A and B are shown apart, each in its own frame.
Chain A
Amino acid sequence: MSSQDKTLLLFLLGVLLFASPLVAWWSRSGAPWYLPYLLWGTIIALAWVVQWRRGRHDL
């Protein structure tokens, strides 16, 4: 899978988590206060992995 494909997949994952009906699921009553930050942090970590693997010559 090319780095651009990974970038796109990651973006779609971000959209799924933060701009889809899934938002209603993770924001349900009883969710811990830090849950949005946890999801956000996960996306950032994945972005770091993709960037780290992309190497230095792609941008």
Chain B
Amino acid sequence: MISEIGLLYAVGVAYLALLFFIAHAAEKGWLPGRLVHHPLVYTLSLGVYATSWSFYGSVGFANTEGYQFLTIYLGVTLAFLLAPLLLAPLLRLVREYQLTSLADLFAFRYRSQWTGVIVTLFMLAGILPYIALQIKAVTESVSVLTRQDTPHLLALGFCATLMLFAILFGARHITPREKHEGLVVAIAFESAVKLLALLAVGGFALFGVFGGFGGLDAWLTAHPEALEALYEPVREGPWTTLMLLSFAAAFLLPRQFHMTFVENINPRSLQTATWAFPLFLLLLNLPIPLILWAGQATDLQTSPDYYVLGLPVAADQGWLALFTFIGGISAASAMMIVTTLALAAMCLNHLILPAHYRQQSLPRNNLYGWLLWGRRVLILLIIGMGYGFYWLLEFNQGLAQIGLISFVAVAQFLPGILGLLFWPRANRVGFIAGLMGGILVWLLALIIPLIHDSGLPMVDFNLMRWMGAEEENRWAFSTFWSLTLNSLLFVAGSLLTRPTREELEASQSCRREQLTPSRLLGDGEIRNVEQLHTNLSQVIGPQTAALEIQRALGDLKLDSREQRPNELRKLRARLERNLSGLMGPLLARMIVDNRLEVPPQTQVALADSLRFVEEQLEHSTVRLKGLAAELDTLRRYHRQVLHELPLGVCSISSGGDILIWNNTMAVISGISSSYAVGQTLDGLKDPWDGVLRTFINGDDRHLYKLQLTVDGRQRRLNLHKAAIESAGLGSSVAHGLGGMVVLVEDLTELHNLESEVAHNDRLASIGRLAAGVAHEIGNPLTGIASLAQNLRYEKDPAEVDLTSRQILEQTRRINDIVQSLITFSHSGEVPRMRPAPVNMRACVDEAIHLVQLSDSGRDMRCLNEIPDTLIARGNAQRLLQVFVNLINNALQAGRPGDRIVIRGEYALGSVEIQVEDEGSGIPESVLDRIFEPFFTTKPPGEGTGLGLSVVYSIIQDHGGMVYADNLPEGGARFHIRLPAVEEETLA
């Protein structure tokens, strides 16, 4: 027998001090991270579900309701079996949108300040009796141990210690992103303690009282009524109702919501909890019938609610009694601490902060400190109110009865949560109406009778009596009618009114079907981070604004110089989520909306939409089935094709955002895809911003051989563009799509190859000319030598003058030949074409002259019929090579002495030149291949196949065209079209 209240108080305080130490050790990192983050620790922390009601009250509940006490845990088991479909989506929402309580969740989905206020007030009203119940259980357990009345002071001391613990370990961080690891570990430890204590008492009942399984069987055989008393209520009582209540309580009770979702450190732990938490509950309940029967067998004088404690006390098992007492404190304290934290977060976000925001009295300095202290004061108030409830009400009902009142209260959130997860049409009107209906029935059926029976002045009204249903089970009655009215009003309200745009948006987020990102910054709004800071500072103060922006920038890995519209949009959305963690989703939305305004007509940026859809699809792979999965595979295939295409592809929305920037484009431009996508053209580095804008805005659909210097390297590019018709896209996502697709061909390598080809061709031509050149230079040289020799003996000044002029004439001939050669050999080395007027007749003359220097050209009959007035725009040296190549080609095609005629005229603003020969013509089958590099009809070793390809390349460079056909009378004809310079222009 333990008779000293002081000793018990000391044990209680010592145990709570141990909890302080464990929580502190976890916070400080003294405990290994693997242990703290282990899924079993998370599972044990969910054991906060088992309160004094479970620890003490289950035996009493079993005594009156038989095995129905199991429903309180079987319902939870069913809820956790459904974790992947029911709890995982809620966990994702809570983590993603940084929600801190059930009220936050409902306010996020049903988008109304009233939603948060009603949920918070109702939760407070529903849970306060439950907190009072814990205090009652602890004080009564002391009474059982000491067999004397417990002074109120003890209850007050217990509450004060819990306040201190909750403040120190539950309100350390203001943002939900920083988990209270210490709290989680401490609550898990408490669960382990209460489980071990119950198992120990159960073990004592089995082996100490019955002497083992044999003894138990013998006792049960001797007392069949004891077993029947457990089974009978199952067949007759409100079994299914209680299952439904505990199913809802499993995740809707504030403490369960807090530990399952808000304090969840690792989402994967929920997988383990699907089986481990029900197992914990099974082990916790296994000893209950044994303890009940042991109490009955030993004829315990204590109330069955306290058999757990009374059994070791009666058997004079002091240590076991003390351990059980500690188990009871564990159960009560864990519930009170976590419930208080959850309720404090609700009150702060939905009662205190909105009021201050409306009055514009939020502190400008140190908002974090204000919030933290606000939460601490609320913790004091809530535990204080729980104590007041305990003090005021004379509970003359069992522990389980009071607990069930809270269960019926939280079950009222079930329709709302189902609507949140599965019904897009559900809206705030339906939710609030349903909840109010449920609350009304709850008050009339359960609370008013409770207060009346507790001896407080209250009208003697009982809904069951009023409805003539006194014979019915009150839990079945109150649950059925409250949930029925709630659901009917919820459905009717939602069907009779339309959800707002914000609600639809939130419902998409809740069901993970959102295909357009929400809440984006419009064009013409925030332009840089500095502006964001200034606007935000007006509400939450410069210091907090700076910290929040810094945090959001860090989350998105951006820096404070960020100016890209897409990134600023994301920053704004991130800020909203982070502020939601601080102040609740509605206030965060209000602050962001009011201070970082979005004009109503602003459309969601298309680039964001596309990226968002892609991200959504990436995340939902496992959920796509059938046709959707096939379409997704097709989408991935097309995307891959687009990205791997050896052509640069970029698509630009009508708003100027870049939507696609494939791998080749990234290589050509030196701008990575991740950077470019989402940018406007202005955001691209030089020269791409200007080039793309000019090309897109220009009339030409193609731009050939554009020379660009990219990262110090010369590139030659062909650009092509096409408009994307939004009409052909169809889907709602594609609304406002359209824009432009630009293809970029990189010709740099090809151009280098062509230059090399042209150079080789020139060298070959020079080689062919060498003999003729030697001959041509030889003749005047011989003449010069003879004239110089005569000059030595010539005395007549007139003759000397004549001879010297003849020498000069011969020298000029040599010089002409040399100049022609030099011109020809340099013709490919002009780095940039500078178009100038070129006299075509003179150009062709020079080409004929050059060709005539070669052996084969000596007997050539070449007629230049081009008028002297025909002037083209181009590069004379390069055009010279064109004609040299064409005349050489004609020579090689014909026989010696054949005639080559070159004609020219102005036609349609261009210069048209034809080169005709009398050769065998070009076979029709190869007509369209003759301009390909290395294509030749000559036997191997006789032709390089380069001449005509060089012609083609040069004419293309001039923006002209060249083609060939055959003359009816035989022979081939090459047509060249070049940009003309009109005579008037020249004049």
**A residues touching B (Cβ–Cβ < 8 Å)?**
3-4, 7-8, 10-11, 14-15, 18-19, 23-24, 27-29, 31, 33, 36-37, 40-41, 43-45, 47-48, 50-51, 54, 56, 58-59
Contact = CB atoms under 8 A, between A and B. Distances in A.
A10 B70 CA distance: 19
Contacts of A11: 78, 81-82
Contact of B271 (A10, A27, A33, A51): A51
A27 B67 contact: yes
Nearest to A45: B275
Contacts of B67: 27, 36
Top 3 A-B pairs ranked by shortest CB distance?
Answer: A27-B234, A47-B275, A48-B275
B278 to A, nearest CB: 5
Interface stretch (B106-114, B224-232, B589-597): B224-232
B279 interface: yes
A44 B77 contact: yes
Interface residue range, chain B: 35 or more
A14 B274 contact: no
Contacts of B272: 51
Given A51-B272, A59-B88, A43 B231 contact: no
Given A4-B85, A14-B81, A41 B282 contact: yes
A42 to B, nearest CB: 11
Nearest to B293: A33
A58 B638 CA distance: 27
Given A11-B78, A48-B275, A33 B227 contact: yes
B270 A7 contact: no
Interface stretch (B24-32, B235-243, B603-611, B711-719): B235-243
A18 B231 contact: no
Nearest to A13: B81
A43 B81 contact: yes
B268 A59 contact: yes
B240 to A, nearest CB: 5
Interface string B273-316: 01100110010011001000000000000000000000000000
A44 B91 CA distance: 22
Contacts of A41: 282
B933 interface: no
Contact of A59 (B227, B234, B267, B286): B267
A18 B83 CA distance: 18
Contacts of A47: 80-81, 274-275, 278
30 contacts: A3-B84, A7-B84, A7-B85, A8-B85, A10-B81, A11-B78, A14-B74, A18-B78, A19-B78, A23-B235, A23-B239, A24-B235, A27-B231, A27-B234, A33-B227, A33-B289, A37-B282, A37-B285, A43-B77, A43-B278, A44-B278, A47-B81, A50-B274, A51-B271, A51-B275, A54-B84, A58-B622, A59-B84, A59-B88, A59-B271
Q: Helix, strand, loop or mixed for chain A's interface?
A: helix
Contacts of B239: 19, 23
Given A56-B268, A59-B270, A27 B78 contact: no
Nearest to A49: B275
Contacts of A15: 78
A58 B621 CA distance: 11
B534 to A, nearest CB: 42
B100 to A, nearest CB: 21
B220 interface: yes
Contacts of A40: 70, 74, 77, 278, 282
Contacts of B80: 47
Contacts of A48: 275
Contacts of A24: 234-235
A55 to B, nearest CB: 9
B70 to A, nearest CB: 6
Nearest to A6: B84
A47 to B, nearest CB: 4
B271 A31 contact: no
Nearest to B82: A11
B243 A19 contact: yes
